[in-house]
Amino acid sequence: MNNNTKKGLFQPQLIRDALWQSVLKLDPRQMFRNPVMFTVEIGTAIMLVVTILSMRSGADVATLGNPGYNFVIFILLFLTVLFANFAEAFAEARGKAQAESLRKTRKDTPARLLLDGGTTTTVSSSDLRRGDRFVCEAGDIIPTDGEIIEGLATIDESAITGESAPVIREAGGDKSSVTGGTKVLSDRIVASVTVQPGESFLDKMIALVEGASRQKTPNEIALTILLAGFTLVFVIVCITLKPFADYANTPISIAAYVSLFVCLIPTTIGGLLSAIGIAGMDRALRANVITKSGKAVETAGDIDVLLLDKTGTITIGNRRATNFYATEGTHRDDVIRSSVLSSLADETPEGKSIVELASPELVKELSIEGATLIKFTAETRTSGVNLADGTRIRKGAQDTIRQLVERAGNAFPEDIAKEIKYISSNGGTPLAVTVNEKVVGAIELQDIIKPGISERFERLRKMGIKTVMVTGDNPLTAKFIAQKAGVDDFIAEAKPEDKMEYIKKEQQEGRLVAMMGDGTNDAPALAQADVGVAMNSGTQAAKEAGNMVDLDNDPTKLIEVVEIGKQLLMTRGTLTTFSIANDVAKYFAIVPALFMASIPALQHLNIMRLYSPESAILSAVIFNALIIPALIPLALKGVEYKPIGASAMLRRNLFIYGLGGIVVPFLGIKLIDLLVTMFF
């Protein structure tokens, strides 16, 4: 993981930046986006005017009040606005710092631009344009994001992922992407530039965090409306209070009106709202996931169905060939030879593992001079070779092979069919091998399920998310692994369009679907899914199609992304509850304070026994201001999500933030009142 996470929440440099930003954010044009805090700013401006007016000699003390007191209220309101701005600025600064530390890895580096003639010329990485081709050799830093079009290399991606083990990237497959700032350790590659300078996903994300292109997410808009509604209720309460007070012959100072208003409107959540949203994207980034919009994070929290590739997610790495079986009358070595020959054109790891399983001596003596290689594709699900002598060797999934064999008029041998069933029922994947459309044997591939994965699925199930395993295996194998790993459903013998269909079907039934993918043929499904996470190692098409990019290439990352999304919504919900529940105590502090002098009967409402009307109002305003910075850590870290079911979660949060929201300000205001009275 990234080194930044080890540092504390508050770094001095970030705080300094954020402080300055919070002053700049006082600009009313910016404040206007946040209706709650904007009204506080207006209140602050009113108090400034009142303070100045009350300082003039001969001012009307009854309505304008004591200048010193007015000034203190003005300062407190000003601080309230500043604290709210600081929360937002600080969240921005943290997100930016995180993104910058990733971007630093891709400062200007020399790049070797490949010219049309095949020669190279050294240019700065910032001069590279989309479509340019560059060359990297062992020891070079890759200048910018690109896609390998030629060659293979081991690459150290630790600068991005924090993972020290080198990875292999090569042309053609689904692992053809290289990232700027990573280092080539061996071999030579030619890559094509895929992004314009300043337009990489990271650049987009930084712009998102900085606020320039940050758009409010649907839930954030709905919540802002709710908060604006509550603010309006208190506008009504405070305006009507004036004639009420006149009727009751109670003069109320402007400072008291403004204080009452600011204390009642939901400043706590209003001040922290945008910080919570930014922190969500930031937390995603800390998990090494680049999000293309805030909405994607929010949607992740709503996911109902999770599509996971079996390979790499549920099972460790790839299936490996573990055994060869021969049909009656065929020598095992012949089966191995045919298997190897047919796998030469199979670039998948399974294909390679077949070659590796066969003994090197056997492989060495094979020749494919004049042969035609038939490449493995996901559609045909077979690969093979037509030898120079006309022998046709194929290997592939048993059902495809069965079709092939039966179309040629040959029977599928009983003993191999039995073996295949046996392999499948043990969770292995059987492949059949044919020579001239006659089955000669079978290959067993085996999967190893990742330790701890079934606990993660259990957790997802508790969160209400259905997990679906996508695999090219036959249904029997798929079922075995699905059961063993504990997924809810599986798509066996999956072709790329199957994923797409499954997603569409679930979406038609109203569910939200997330998937992770890397290949170009995943791109349509990634685009169709409500949350599509592309692996950074994947093809450019996949990365463009998804709405998140995972820098770690970790397929289980989806689980974390979902939790981040849920935390984001929960933090908003709980802080809204807390903020509104706070008002109960504030009413009991301020309302008696307003009327105690002229209506002594109402002192019974002063249940906190606050010292005086002035100290009561002051304490409420101070509490109201201080609660914002006090909750910044919670807003940034997010409320902890526990998969205990929605009702239990609601009970828990209602208890902590609802009941807590009522109790805490009673204690807080009383405590502040005790401190404040020392100055009276």
Partner 1 sequence: MNTEILGVLAIFLFTLVLAWPLGRYIAKTYSGERTWTDPIFGPIERLFFRLSGIDPKQEMTWVEHLKALLTINFVWFLATMFVLMNMAWLPFNPDGNPSMSPDLAFNTSISFVVNCNLQHYSGESGLSYLGQIWLMFLQFVSAATGMATAAVLFNALKTRTPLPLQGPGEGPGVGGNNFYNYFLKSCTRILLPLSILVAILMMFNGSPMTFEGKDTVVGLQGDTVQVSRGPVAAFVAIKHLGTNGGGFFGANSAHPLENPSYLTALLQLFAQLIIPVAMVFAFGFYLRRRKLALMIFGVMTIGFLMLAIPNIVFEMNGNPAISAMGVDQSLGAMEGKEIRFGAAMSAYWSILTTVISTGSVNAMHDSTMPLSGMNQLLGMMVNGFYGGCGVGILNFFIYLIIAVFIAGLMVGRTPEFLGKKVEAREVKIAMITALLSPLLIMGGTAISAWMMVQDPSLPWLNNPGFHGFSEMLYEMTSANANNGSGFEGLGDNNPFWNISTGILLLLGRFVPIIGPIAIGGLLASKKYIPEGAGTLKTDTGTFGVMIFCVIAIITALSYFPALALGPIAEYFSIG
Residues marked active site are found at 309
Are the beta carbons of 383 and 376 closer than 8 angstroms? yes
Residue 601 beta carbon to partner 1: minimum distance, rounded to whole angstroms:
4
**Contact letters (x/-) for partner 1, 42-71, by CB under 8 A?**
------------------------------
CB atoms within 10 A of CB 93: 26
> Residue 117, Cβ neighbours under 10 Å: how many?
6
Binding-site member from 68, 110, 317, 464 for partner 1 (CB under 8 A): 464
Do the beta carbons of residue 530 and residue 293 sit within 8 Å?
A: no
- Segment contacting partner 1 (CB under 8 A): 147-155, 353-361, 553-561, 646-654? 646-654
The dihedral through the CA atoms of 585, 589, 590, 591 has a sign that is positive
Residue whose CB is less far from partner 1, 147 or 298:
298
Out of 511, 544, 630, 677, the only residue in the binding site for partner 1 (CB under 8 A) is: 511
29 near partner 1, judged by CB under 8 A: no
Is residue 242 near partner 1 by the rule CB under 8 A?
Answer: yes
Cβ atoms of 477 and 492 within 8 Å: the answer is yes
Least distance (Å) from partner 1 to the CB of residue 62? Answer: 16
Residue closer to partner 1 by CB (options 114, 575) is 575
The residues in 514-553 that bind partner 1, with binding defined as CB under 8 A, are none
DSSP per-residue letters across 320-343: EEEEEEE-TTS-HHHHHHHHHHHH
Pick the binder of partner 1 from 92, 132, 157, 298 (CB under 8 A): 298
CB of 293 to partner 1, least distance (A): 15
Residue appearing with tokens 């604290």: 83
Pattern 365-384, binding to partner 1, x per CB under 8 A? --------------------
* Interactions with partner 1, residue window 314-333 (CB under 8 A): none
Footprint of partner 1 on 626-645 (CB under 8 A): 641, 645
Size of the site for partner 1 (CB under 8 A): 73
Question: Which one, of 383, 389, 332, 328, lies nearest residue 358 by Cα?
Answer: 332
What's 599's DSSP letter?
-
Closer residue to partner 1 (CB): 322 or 606: 606
Task: Copy the structure tokens of residue 390.
Answer: 């006309």
Which of 62, 165, 212, 646 forms a contact with partner 1 (CB under 8 A)?
Answer: 646
Q: Restricting to residues 126-165, which ones interact with partner 1 according to CB under 8 A?
A: none
Rounded CA separation 420/406 (Å): 17
Which of the stretches 125-133, 154-162, 457-465, 607-615 binds partner 1 when contact is defined by CB under 8 A? Answer: 457-465
| DSSP labels, 132-194 | -EEEEETTPBP-S-EEEEEEEEEEE-HHHH---S-EEEESSSS--EE-TT-EEEESEEEEEE-
Q: Which residue from 7, 28, 244, 455 is in contact with partner 1, where contact means CB under 8 A?
A: 244
Site map 208..237 versus partner 1, x via CB under 8 A: ----------xx-xxx-xx-xxx-xxx-xx
- What span, in angstroms and rounded, lies between the C-alpha atoms of 470 and 92? 38
CB-wise, 539 or 574, nearer to partner 1?
A: 574
Separation between Cα atoms, residue 623 and residue 164, nearest integer Å: 48
> Cα Rg for the chain, rounded, in angstroms?
33
Q: Which is nearer to partner 1, 333 or 640 (CB)?
A: 640
Could you give the string, one character per residue 564-603, with x where binding to partner 1 holds by CB under 8 A and - elsewhere?
-xxxxxx-xxx-xx--xx-xx--x---x---x---x-xx-
Report in angstroms how near the CB of residue 568 gets to partner 1 at its nearest: 8
State which residue, 420 or 608, has the beta carbon closest to partner 1: 608
Which two tokens mark 62?
């009854």
Q: Is 663 in the site for partner 1 (CB under 8 A)?
A: no
User: Closer CB to partner 1, residue 57 or residue 508?
Assistant: 508
Position 610: which residue type?
L
Stretch that binds partner 1, among 11-19, 28-36, 159-167, 559-567 (CB under 8 A): 559-567
Residues 6+ apart with CB under 8 A from 337: 358, 362, 366
Q: How far apart are the first and last CA of the chain?
A: 53
Q: Is the dihedral of CA 215, 219, 224, 225 positive or negative?
A: positive
Tell me the residue type at 17: D
Asked if 246 touches partner 1 (CB under 8 A), the answer is: yes
Smallest distance, Å, CB 175 to partner 1? 34
The set of residues, in sequence order, having a beta carbon less than 8 Å from that of 388 and lying 6+ positions away, is 369, 370, 371
Candidates 304, 493, 498, 544; binder of partner 1 (CB under 8 A) is 304
Nearer to partner 1, 245 or 416 (CB): 245
Asked if 32 is part of the footprint of partner 1 (rule: CB under 8 A), the reply reads no
